[in-house]
Structure 1
Amino acid sequence: MKSLFKLTILAAIVTVLFFAISVQAQTIPAKAWRLGLGIETGVPTGVATLGATFTLGGTARLQYGISNNFALTLTTGGYHFFPKKNPVTGNRYQSYGEIPVKIGFKEFFAKSIYLGGEIGTASEKLESGWGPTRLDLSPALGYANQHWDFAVHYENFSRHGEDSFGLVNLRVAYGFAL
């Protein structure tokens, strides 16, 4: 599990560095809308590591440029946690997913490199129905150009009185102006 996490982080860093060297600076056009459609993969964290091996998801992010370097975002989509086998019974744990709805920001602090942050809720989807809704907090570090957006982000799902869990994901998205 630690090797997969390190490989994911290394791939994200190499991708960001490769594109930062070869592409011109990206700014967010002020008063402009963009839509990004992304795929994400990574590893679970916290108590999710007990029953899941990796995550895979898809997200859509609507972005509005407040200035040339700062944007507000609205993100939704879904993350699937792929289950492990229970070592005692030999059966796999229950499959589940999280469906987030978050608002946030992206701020470019260097050439094409940004920090992001989002807050919202995530509803749990179980094989047997719906689970609880949790607070979803997500910081990110990314690289974006005119069409592509690469980011490493951490999602934390928490609920009062329960153990929190989350994921560390690499997001690759294609974006376009609306």
Structure 2
Amino acid sequence: MEDKSNVDFIESSSAEVFEIPGEPAIVINGLPPLISRDADTLPCAVTDSQPQKLAVFGEWLEGREVRKLFGDRFFSGEVTQFDKEMGWYRVVYEDGDSEDLEWHELMEVLVPLDVNIPLKTLAIKIIKKRQKSAQKPTSKVRTRRNGSHDGKGKEKENDAS
């Protein structure tokens, strides 16, 4: 009987390494095909399941800057939202226009990430955003200095009861 863990290890050890033009990182078997002008960059094979794997990282690209050529002019923009169901990235440009891009389209227009920003800072930003969206209060009740409440539907307490 063959040990399947060895087979998995052999298959994963033959992974190809891909450089992303303009990015400070390399990726091992994880990107859709890139249109590259650089002869040293290897093409990447993609399966139909690839967009699902990348969907978990969609929100990490929110806030990233893009630059896209429209006609004879480049427009700057920002990834503002990721649609998990469709796998689309909403990009809003400096002139107010917006468009939804798929992963392979977004990769062509992403501005290289500033490597001076620590990964920890980026992770904290994502965690805070998740916590903020999870803590949507139904109503706000503020307590005044004298102990009375200031909120809709709440009666104010009187000191002379």
Using the size of structure 1 for normalisation, the TM-score is 0.26
Query: Which structure carries more helix by proportion?
Result: 2
Higher relative contact order (CA 8 A, sep 6+): 1
Larger Rg: 2
Query: Which structure carries more strand by proportion?
Result: 1
Using the size of structure 2 for normalisation, the TM-score is 0.28
